[in-house]
Homo-oligomer: A and B are copies of this chain.
Amino acid sequence: MNKKCVVLLSGGLDSTTTLAIAISEGFKPYAITFDYNQRHHIEIERAKMTAEKYGVHQLIFPLPLNLIGGSALTDNIDVPDNKIEEIGKGIPITYVPARNSIFLSVASAWAEANEINDIFIGVNTLDYSGYPDCRKEFIDAMERALTLGTKFHDRGKRIVIHTPLADMTKAEIIKRGSELGVDYSLTSSCYNPDEKGRACGKCDSCKLRLKGFAEAGLKDPVEYQ
Protein backbone atom coordinates (compact mmCIF):
# COMPACT_ATOMS: atom_id res chain seq x y z
CA MET A 1 0.00 0.00 0.00
CA ASN A 2 1.29 3.46 -0.86
CA LYS A 3 2.31 5.71 2.00
CA LYS A 4 -0.17 8.50 2.59
CA CYS A 5 0.80 12.16 2.44
CA VAL A 6 -0.94 15.53 2.67
CA VAL A 7 -0.40 17.90 -0.27
CA LEU A 8 -1.18 21.61 -0.04
CA LEU A 9 -3.07 22.16 -3.28
CA SER A 10 -3.91 25.77 -4.08
CA GLY A 11 -4.84 25.16 -7.70
CA GLY A 12 -1.78 27.02 -8.95
CA LEU A 13 1.01 25.77 -11.17
CA ASP A 14 3.45 24.97 -8.37
CA SER A 15 1.13 23.04 -6.06
CA THR A 16 -0.37 21.07 -8.95
CA THR A 17 3.12 20.03 -10.07
CA THR A 18 3.91 19.13 -6.45
CA LEU A 19 0.87 16.83 -6.35
CA ALA A 20 2.07 15.08 -9.51
CA ILE A 21 5.57 14.70 -8.05
CA ALA A 22 4.21 13.22 -4.79
CA ILE A 23 2.30 10.63 -6.84
CA SER A 24 5.40 9.92 -8.96
CA GLU A 25 7.34 9.26 -5.73
CA GLY A 26 4.82 6.57 -4.78
CA PHE A 27 2.72 8.48 -2.25
CA LYS A 28 -1.06 8.37 -1.96
CA PRO A 29 -1.92 12.07 -1.59
CA TYR A 30 -4.66 13.74 0.41
CA ALA A 31 -5.15 17.27 -0.85
CA ILE A 32 -5.93 20.26 1.38
CA THR A 33 -7.10 23.49 -0.26
CA PHE A 34 -7.62 26.73 1.66
CA ASP A 35 -10.53 29.00 0.93
CA TYR A 36 -9.07 32.15 2.49
CA ASN A 37 -11.28 34.71 0.76
CA GLN A 38 -8.56 35.24 -1.82
CA ARG A 39 -9.59 37.57 -4.64
CA HIS A 40 -8.40 34.93 -7.09
CA HIS A 41 -11.09 32.54 -5.86
CA ILE A 42 -11.06 30.73 -9.19
CA GLU A 43 -7.94 28.82 -8.10
CA ILE A 44 -10.15 26.82 -5.72
CA GLU A 45 -12.30 25.66 -8.65
CA ARG A 46 -9.11 24.68 -10.48
CA ALA A 47 -7.83 22.79 -7.42
CA LYS A 48 -11.11 20.85 -7.34
CA MET A 49 -10.71 19.92 -11.01
CA THR A 50 -7.15 18.73 -10.45
CA ALA A 51 -8.08 16.71 -7.34
CA GLU A 52 -10.91 15.11 -9.31
CA LYS A 53 -8.62 14.36 -12.27
CA TYR A 54 -6.20 12.47 -10.01
CA GLY A 55 -8.97 10.87 -7.92
CA VAL A 56 -7.52 12.43 -4.77
CA HIS A 57 -9.54 13.03 -1.59
CA GLN A 58 -9.69 16.78 -1.00
CA LEU A 59 -10.48 18.87 2.08
CA ILE A 60 -11.48 22.45 1.35
CA PHE A 61 -10.80 24.37 4.55
CA PRO A 62 -12.34 27.82 5.10
CA LEU A 63 -9.96 30.35 6.64
CA PRO A 64 -11.24 33.95 6.69
CA LEU A 65 -7.83 35.61 6.32
CA ASN A 66 -9.61 38.76 5.16
CA LEU A 67 -10.33 39.30 8.89
CA ILE A 68 -6.55 39.56 9.40
CA GLY A 69 -5.92 42.04 6.58
CA GLY A 70 -2.59 43.40 5.45
CA SER A 71 -2.48 41.98 1.91
CA ALA A 72 -3.55 42.87 -1.62
CA LEU A 73 -4.70 39.26 -2.04
CA THR A 74 -7.40 39.50 0.63
CA ASP A 75 -8.03 43.23 0.97
CA ASN A 76 -9.34 45.85 -1.38
CA ILE A 77 -5.85 46.99 -2.40
CA ASP A 78 -4.71 47.07 -6.05
CA VAL A 79 -2.45 44.24 -7.20
CA PRO A 80 0.65 46.00 -8.61
CA ASP A 81 2.17 45.70 -12.09
CA ASN A 82 5.87 45.27 -11.17
CA LYS A 83 8.77 44.97 -13.59
CA ILE A 84 9.95 41.36 -13.87
CA GLU A 85 13.46 42.18 -12.66
CA GLU A 86 12.01 43.76 -9.49
CA ILE A 87 10.01 40.67 -8.53
CA GLY A 88 11.44 38.85 -5.51
CA LYS A 89 13.32 41.89 -4.21
CA GLY A 90 11.71 42.90 -0.94
CA ILE A 91 8.37 41.73 0.39
CA PRO A 92 5.49 42.75 -1.93
CA ILE A 93 1.99 43.92 -1.05
CA THR A 94 0.58 40.59 -2.26
CA TYR A 95 2.28 38.84 0.68
CA VAL A 96 -0.40 37.44 3.02
CA PRO A 97 0.84 37.64 6.64
CA ALA A 98 2.07 34.27 7.91
CA ARG A 99 0.02 32.41 5.27
CA ASN A 100 2.26 29.36 5.00
CA SER A 101 2.61 29.14 8.79
CA ILE A 102 -1.16 28.89 9.02
CA PHE A 103 -1.52 26.54 6.04
CA LEU A 104 1.20 24.18 7.29
CA SER A 105 -0.23 24.18 10.82
CA VAL A 106 -3.70 23.23 9.60
CA ALA A 107 -2.18 20.65 7.24
CA SER A 108 -0.24 19.14 10.16
CA ALA A 109 -3.46 18.92 12.18
CA TRP A 110 -5.23 17.06 9.38
CA ALA A 111 -2.17 14.87 8.86
CA GLU A 112 -2.00 14.06 12.57
CA ALA A 113 -5.72 13.25 12.80
CA ASN A 114 -5.19 10.77 9.96
CA GLU A 115 -1.86 9.31 11.17
CA ILE A 116 0.03 10.88 8.24
CA ASN A 117 3.44 12.45 8.82
CA ASP A 118 4.51 13.50 5.30
CA ILE A 119 3.40 16.90 4.00
CA PHE A 120 4.16 18.30 0.52
CA ILE A 121 4.24 22.04 -0.22
CA GLY A 122 5.20 23.67 -3.51
CA VAL A 123 7.34 26.51 -2.23
CA ASN A 124 10.34 27.63 -4.26
CA THR A 125 12.77 30.47 -3.96
CA LEU A 126 14.26 30.99 -7.42
CA ASP A 127 11.41 32.40 -9.52
CA TYR A 128 9.29 33.55 -6.60
CA SER A 129 7.68 36.66 -5.24
CA GLY A 130 9.98 37.22 -2.26
CA TYR A 131 7.62 35.95 0.44
CA PRO A 132 9.43 35.19 3.73
CA ASP A 133 7.34 32.07 4.29
CA CYS A 134 8.73 30.32 1.21
CA ARG A 135 12.34 30.10 2.36
CA LYS A 136 14.08 26.88 3.33
CA GLU A 137 15.05 28.08 6.80
CA PHE A 138 11.38 28.82 7.54
CA ILE A 139 10.28 25.39 6.30
CA ASP A 140 12.96 23.66 8.41
CA ALA A 141 11.96 25.62 11.52
CA MET A 142 8.29 24.84 10.91
CA GLU A 143 9.00 21.14 10.46
CA ARG A 144 10.64 21.11 13.88
CA ALA A 145 7.91 23.17 15.56
CA LEU A 146 5.06 21.11 14.10
CA THR A 147 6.76 17.87 15.10
CA LEU A 148 7.07 19.13 18.68
CA GLY A 149 3.46 20.35 18.66
CA THR A 150 1.89 17.04 17.62
CA LYS A 151 1.74 13.47 18.93
CA PHE A 152 4.48 12.36 16.54
CA HIS A 153 7.32 13.56 18.76
CA ASP A 154 6.08 11.46 21.69
CA ARG A 155 6.08 8.42 19.44
CA GLY A 156 9.63 8.95 18.17
CA LYS A 157 8.34 10.05 14.77
CA ARG A 158 8.47 13.41 13.07
CA ILE A 159 6.61 15.46 10.53
CA VAL A 160 8.49 15.67 7.23
CA ILE A 161 7.77 18.69 5.02
CA HIS A 162 8.68 17.85 1.43
CA THR A 163 9.51 20.79 -0.85
CA PRO A 164 10.30 19.14 -4.19
CA LEU A 165 10.30 22.47 -6.06
CA ALA A 166 12.59 24.29 -3.63
CA ASP A 167 15.59 24.63 -5.92
CA MET A 168 13.86 24.61 -9.31
CA THR A 169 13.30 27.54 -11.63
CA LYS A 170 9.77 28.08 -12.93
CA ALA A 171 10.89 26.67 -16.31
CA GLU A 172 12.22 23.51 -14.63
CA ILE A 173 8.99 23.10 -12.68
CA ILE A 174 6.93 23.36 -15.88
CA LYS A 175 9.18 20.90 -17.73
CA ARG A 176 9.02 18.39 -14.87
CA GLY A 177 5.23 18.74 -14.61
CA SER A 178 4.83 18.32 -18.35
CA GLU A 179 6.87 15.10 -18.24
CA LEU A 180 4.51 13.87 -15.51
CA GLY A 181 1.46 14.75 -17.61
CA VAL A 182 0.26 17.74 -15.56
CA ASP A 183 -2.60 19.51 -17.33
CA TYR A 184 -1.61 23.15 -16.82
CA SER A 185 -4.87 24.32 -18.41
CA LEU A 186 -6.46 23.30 -15.08
CA THR A 187 -4.16 25.59 -13.07
CA SER A 188 -4.57 29.26 -12.24
CA SER A 189 -1.72 31.52 -11.14
CA CYS A 190 -3.12 35.02 -11.64
CA TYR A 191 -3.67 37.24 -8.59
CA ASN A 192 -6.24 39.33 -10.42
CA PRO A 193 -8.25 37.30 -12.94
CA ASP A 194 -11.34 38.73 -14.65
CA GLU A 195 -14.84 37.40 -14.06
CA LYS A 196 -14.31 34.70 -16.70
CA GLY A 197 -11.18 33.50 -14.88
CA ARG A 198 -8.82 34.82 -17.56
CA ALA A 199 -5.37 35.79 -16.29
CA CYS A 200 -4.28 39.45 -16.24
CA GLY A 201 -0.74 38.82 -17.53
CA LYS A 202 0.48 41.77 -15.45
CA CYS A 203 0.76 40.64 -11.82
CA ASP A 204 3.98 39.14 -10.41
CA SER A 205 2.54 35.66 -10.54
CA CYS A 206 1.48 35.93 -14.21
CA LYS A 207 4.88 37.36 -15.17
CA LEU A 208 6.79 34.57 -13.43
CA ARG A 209 4.50 32.00 -15.07
CA LEU A 210 4.83 33.45 -18.58
CA LYS A 211 8.62 33.72 -18.20
CA GLY A 212 8.70 30.08 -17.06
CA PHE A 213 6.72 28.80 -20.04
CA ALA A 214 8.85 30.90 -22.42
CA GLU A 215 12.10 29.53 -20.94
CA ALA A 216 10.72 25.99 -21.04
CA GLY A 217 9.89 26.47 -24.71
CA LEU A 218 6.24 25.58 -24.05
CA LYS A 219 2.96 27.37 -24.59
CA ASP A 220 0.92 28.34 -21.54
CA PRO A 221 -2.51 26.76 -22.13
CA VAL A 222 -4.49 29.16 -19.89
CA GLU A 223 -6.41 32.11 -21.33
CA TYR A 224 -5.17 35.68 -20.87
CA GLN A 225 -7.28 38.82 -21.01
Chain A contact residues, CB within 8 Å of chain B? 59, 61-65, 67-71, 91, 95-102, 104-106, 108-110, 112-114, 132-133, 135, 137-138, 141-142, 144-146, 148-151, 153-154
Chain B hits for A62, CB < 8 A = 62, 64
Q: Are B70 and A112 in contact (CB under 8 A)?
A: yes
Query: What's the minimum C-beta distance from A104 to chain B, rounded to whole angstroms?
Result: 8
- Give the one of A63, A64, A99, A135 with max B CB within 10 A: A63
In-complex Cβ contact of A141 among B61, B106, B144 (8 A): B144
In-complex Cβ contact of A61 among B61, B67, B70 (8 A): B67
In-complex Cβ contact of A113 among B63, B97, B109 (8 A): B97
A-B contact pairs, 12 of them (CB 8 A): A65-B109, A70-B112, A91-B151, A95-B151, A97-B151, A98-B146, A99-B109, A101-B105, A101-B150, A102-B105, A138-B145, A142-B145
Chain B hits for A132, CB < 8 A = 148-151, 153-154
Q: Are B142 and A149 in contact (CB under 8 A)?
A: yes
Q: What's the Cα separation between A85 and B16 when bound, in Å?
A: 49
